[in-house]
Amino acid sequence: MLQNKIAIITGASRGIGKSIALNFAKNGASLVLVCLSDQMSLDSVKKEAELLGAKVIAFMGDVASESFCNEITSKTLDTFGTVDILVNSAGTITRAVTEEVSGEEWRRVLDVNLNGVFYLSRCVLPIMRKNESGKIINLTSQMAHMPHPSASPSYEVSKSGVVAFTRHLALEYAKFNVCVNNIAPGSIDTDLPKSMSIEARQRLKDAIPMQRLGEVEEVANCTLFLASEMSSYITGSTVHINGGSLIV
């Protein structure tokens, strides 16, 4: 599905980002993997993807840095010559309630979750515009559409900002055949749910109409669809992967 496509994936060392990277590798893409600080995990994902036949380069750094995003793009062009797909999966979250959120904490969450999406998208858009082809997929959150008592407002605001930014890009770049979409996961069985007590996990499941947590592979499969030509007439949309959580 992604033969001869070049994909940049942030947050690629674990969880949803890792699953997306390996799914893309299985489907023929060459990969540019990015993570903040976990070199061992990043190297492991790189090796797994290479065993699946993918050509892979990997970088550690902070997507909240404009210069790092410029570096990723420059090295991608040096290695592969173009960029076809960008998946903005990197993110951070805090749990402080509103009155306890520090200015530094507020800025950091917005820097990673919103500004990082802006910086890297801005880097690749001229390439996609010139090619008159491209896919940008942003990982937002169910919390952009429904507040959650255990999340800091900074997280919800950052993800809501990504939703608005995605719609704007979709409108601005539709004439260049660049499709920009969101995926909004609900409760997915990543590291945090796995660390919960049996009772806490059950309460989480009980609140979901499908009575289970989502799997990272289910998010990865949706991302593959949006990255492929199967979704060539879809742009400016948000796909919700949450087992029905927003209908209750």
CA distance 88 to 8: 8
CA distance 120 to 137: 12
The residue from 119, 155, 173, 233 that is catalytic is: 155
Q: What tokens appear for 192 in the block?
A: 């945090």
State how beta strands 238-241 and 85-88 pair.
unpaired
Catalytic residue flag (residue 155): yes
DSSP code string of the chain: --TT-EEEEESTTSHHHHHHHHHHHHTT-EEEEEESS-HHHHHHHHHHHHHTT--EEEEES-TT-HHHHHHHHHHHHHHHS---EEEE---------GGG--HHHHHHHHIIIIIHHHHHHHHHHHHHHHHT-EEEEEE--GGGTS--TTS-HHHHHHHHHHHHHHHHHHHHHGGGTEEEEEEEE-SB-SHHHHTS-HHHHHHHHHTSTTSS-B-HHHHHHHHHHHHSGGGTT--S-EEEESTTGGG-
Among residues 179, 60, 182, the alpha carbon closest in space to that of 129 is found at 179
Write out the catalytic residue numbers: 155
